[in-house]
Amino acid sequence: MEQKYNDSLPQLFSRDNARKWIERRTMPFRSLMAYYNCAIMEVTTKFNVLNEEFSLQHDRNPIETVKSRLKSPESIAEKLSRKRLPPSTDAVEKYINDVAGVRVVCSFIDDVYTVADAFLMQDDITLIEIKDYIKNPKDNGYRSLHLIIEVPIFLSDEKRSMKVEIQLRTIAMDFWASLDHQIKYKKHISNEEHVFHELKDCANSIAEIDRRMSKLKEDIDD
């Protein structure tokens, strides 16, 4: 007999349950993904508006690019399984913070913090968590400013608060992160320790260039 999955009831954890639940793509799941997509549109619009305002005030754009992504159903199922969470929309919405993701690539380090501060000042944005991997890089050298926020979306008959993960980084940080991803993504690395040290050394070198470019901009502005 086919096992029934009811989004309103918690299910016992199992990797198979999570996979089957995702494969069913129930209406509640599809609706939730649509809500996350709406939240992405809200956030990206806010950053584009800020960029336009800064351009008028300072005659330059601090934001180079704004990218977004919606976590794939397969990745959501894997994360539910890894966190030992039941396959339900409630679990996704309550415990997974990065279903909706927005990446903001800025020109200089100061721009990252200026843009983040201006964004968080908006009265409809609620900050849930902040992790500063620029001031405190990860062990492998990864640098970015991470924000978990809630933003309201306005539907035909209700207002919903949705979580979005925002990563703010410089062009140099994005360059390193993109190459790091391409080098390591889904690959078995036999000389892992050597690769780890090389990537960290590259991250430190790129960070030094970032600092020098920022200092050069300050000297020219002064």
pLDDT digits (tens, 9 = 90+) for 198-214: 889 999 999 999 999 99
If one counts every other C-beta atom within 10 angstroms of the C-beta of residue 34, the result is 13
Measured CA to CA, the distance from residue 31 to residue 156 in angstroms comes to 13
Distance CA 76, CA 64 (A): 29
Token pair belonging to 120 = 């968080």
- Structure token pair of residue 166: 């925002």
By C-alpha distance, which of 213, 216, 119, 204 is closest to 167?
A: 119
> In the prediction, which pLDDT does 187 show?
62
pLDDT in tens, 148-199: 999 999 998 899 999 999 999 999 999 999 888 887 665 666 777 888 888 8
Q: What is the pTM of this model?
A: 0.85
Q: Which of 60, 21, 56 minimizes the C-alpha distance to 220?
A: 60
